[in-house]
Structure formats: structure tokens, C-alpha cells
Structure 1
Amino acid sequence: MAIDFNQATDKMKGAQDALRRELAEIRTGRANPRILDRVQVEYYGAMVPLNQVASISVPEARMLLITPFDKGALEAIVTAINMSDLGLNPASDGQIVRLAIPQMTEERRKELVKEVKAEAEKSKVAVRNVRREAMDAIKKDKELTEDDVRDSEDKVQKLTDDNIKAIDEIAAEKEKELMTI
């Protein structure tokens, strides 16, 4: 058989991993250093990720503490956080930056749930594209008998169904986390 099920499996698992990364960056009511992953700080003329110029810790459930490695980068860190679309207000005391994570409103929670569903749908589309590629490869393989084709298509469909179910579970878990007050 010319069809490589391992490759299809890896691509589908990759869609799940990408979804997990995207959902980790969606802000919930609790402090999570991952929400700062996309923040870029201008440091000596170059844009670098925040986690490369400072350490980020979670001293309490609704607070992030950012300690710059170089105290000269403190102002740039505050500016970068203000410029980001996170909606957080950094408080600096000259040594560290504190980010208080505010309580989310019900309306904001519902908006974020919609975002989660949109990200999950993108992942499902990616899985379906992998399925389509695998099905095309099966149909083009002239060495396969009709039974082999049917068995291979069934195997690809089962793989797709399992991955779609896993994506739904990941999204449901994030939705539950968002709706928890």
C-alpha cells in the first residue's frame, strides 16, 4: 500500500496541537503566562518576545509578575503590554511589572467562547483537508484492490472521526474553563 497512514495521523495530531497552542493564548479569568506569548518588546532596536527579556511568574491566581532581566527594558515592556490587544493595564514599581487579571464579564466570556469555537472549526477543517488528501491518494493508487480501497477509506474516516472528537473535547474543556467564574 502506498498510502502512509502515519503521515496522515501526524498531520491530524498537528492540528490538535495547533489548537491547544491557540487556546492557551485566549485569556481566561485566571493568570496564565501563555497569554503574553505574542507580546513583542522593542529591545535595543529589535523586536523580541517578552519571555526573552523577562521572567514571568504567577504569584497568585489573578496576578502576573514580570521581572525584566535588564532593568532598562522595564519601560519597553510596559509599552509593549499597553500596545498589545490584551486589555491589561501594567503597573510598574521601577523593578517589576504587575499585571492584574480583571474579572471577565459574562458578555466577554461569551465572545471568547465564540473565538474558541472558531479556532476549533479551523482545526476541524485542517483535519478534513488531511482526510481529503489521504482519500485522493487512496483512489489514485492503482495497486489497491476494491476491498483494499474500501478498507483504507474506512481507516482514514475512523482516524478523522477520532481527531474531530478530540478537537471537540479540547474546545469543550476550554469553554468550560472560560465559563467558570
Structure 2
Amino acid sequence: MITKELEANMIKSVEASQRNFNTIRTGRANTSLLDRLTVEYYGADTPLKSLATLSTPDSQTISIQPFDISSLSLIEKAISLSDLGFTPNNDGKIIRINIPPLTEERRKEFCKLASKYAEEAKVSLRNIRRDAIEKIKTAEKEGEISKDQSHDQQETVQKLTNKFINEIEKNLSKKESEILKV
């Protein structure tokens, strides 16, 4: 009963960490680098994906073609002001972003960022585990389950937590190898 809900929450946490990893640059152009970018469009912060078609014509370029040409300058401004460090090139119809190769120092910074995202995901998993164990202990105190059942359920929760922490570690090492690959 409790394990299905627990596992679903832990899967969401792992997926969130993977989305965070996808926003970190590697040596190649990838449209997911712009996933977090929002553009102020008619007074509202709108995700870039909602305003334009994103594509990668080659491994070093991201192409952005807005649905509404009038939003071109707004998109360009949002990219320039973002912390991504990209310089957009506007030709009047399409914005192109050239992805320069990463320096060794920048690669190390991105590895640290990936580690930070992984640690945040692990903390999230531990919080989910803590909440589940509290529920189990409460059920034991109220006499809903026996001491043995409580112990078994707590063990199951810990095994699930370990499984998902290992998955985050695998995702982290994969991302670090992508970042460090020249």
C-alpha cells in the first residue's frame, strides 16, 4: 500500500534530477539547454518552447524559429539576459546560438553543478523516506500494524531509497562523463 505511493514519489524525484542534468551543457548543442528559459511575452513569463520551434541543425548550433515574428527581439533579449552565457544571432526570422566548445575550467564547473543537482535529489529522496517511516511508526503506535510489520516496512522503504539513490549516482556519473568528454 505505502510502497507504491513511495516508489512513485521517488521516481518523480529521480526524473526531476534528470531534467536538471539535461539543462547542463555538454560539448554538443542540445535544445534542452533552453528548457528553463522564459520570455516576457505580453506581460507574462512564457516558456520559450511555447513561443518557438527549437532545433539543432548541427552539433554546435541551436536554431530558434518563433511562431510570432514580433517576439523575435523578446526572445533574443531573454537569451542575452539569461545566465546561460550564450550570444544569440538574429537574422530577422531565426535566432541562432553557436555553442562554443567548453574550456576545462567550465567543464569542472558544470560537473560541480551536476553534483549539486544530484545532492538535491538525494535530499529529496531522504525526505520522502523520512515521511514514509514516520507514517509507519505512527501506524505501529496506533496499533494498526505489528512491530514486525513495522520493521519489515521500514526495511522495504530503506531498500527503495538505496535503489533510487544508486540510480541518481549512475545518472550523475553518466552526465559527468558527457561533460568531460572532449
With structure 2 as the length reference, what TM-score do the two structures score? 0.93
What letter matches 1:4 in structure 2? I
Summarize deviations over 1:130-167 as a string: whole Å, max 9, x none: 11111111112123222212211111111111011011
State the alpha-carbon separation in 1 of the partners of residues 147 and 39 from structure 2.
58
Aligned to 1:83: 81
**Counterpart position of 2:21:** 23
Which residue in 2 is equivalent to 1:148?
149
* Percent identity of equivalent pairs: 42
Instruction: Find the residue that maps to 1:86 and give its secondary structure.
Output: coil
Provide structure 2 residue ranges, at least 5 long, that are not aligned to the other structure. Answer: none
Aligned residue number for residue 128 of structure 2: 130
TM-score for the superposition, normalised by structure 1: 0.94
Q: What do you get for the CA RMSD once the two structures are aligned?
A: 1.3
Aligned to 2:163: 162
What are the residue-to-residue correspondences of 1:98-117 with 2, within 5 Å? 98-117=96-115
Unaligned runs of 5+ in 1: none
Q: 1:134 to 1:54 in 2, by over 3 A?
A: same
- 1:97 pairs, out of 95, 98, 103, with 95
Runs of 4+ in 1 over 4 A off after TM superposition: none
Q: Distance in 2 between matches of 1:42 and 1:144?
A: 53
Cα separation, partners in 2 of 1:45 and 1:148, compared to 1, 3 Å: closer
Provide the C-alpha distance between the structure 2 equivalents of 1:85 and 1:151, rounded to a whole number of angstroms: 47
Distance 1:128 1:46 in 2: 35
Tell me which amino acid in the other structure corresponds to 2:117.
E
Between the two proteins, the alignment pairs up a number of residues equal to: 179
Report Cα offsets for 1:67-96 as digits up to 9, x if no partner: 111222211111111011110011111111
Aligned to 1:172: 173
Distance 1:152 1:84, change over 3 A: same
- Aligned-partner Cα distance in 2 for 1:136–1:43: 45
Q: How many Å apart are 1:47 and its aligned residue?
A: 2.7
CA distance, structure 2, for counterparts of residue 133 and residue 47 of structure 1? 34
Amino acid at match of 1:73: S
One-letter amino acid of the counterpart of residue 156, structure 1? V
Query: CA–CA distance in 2 between the matches of 1:106 and 1:159?
Result: 37
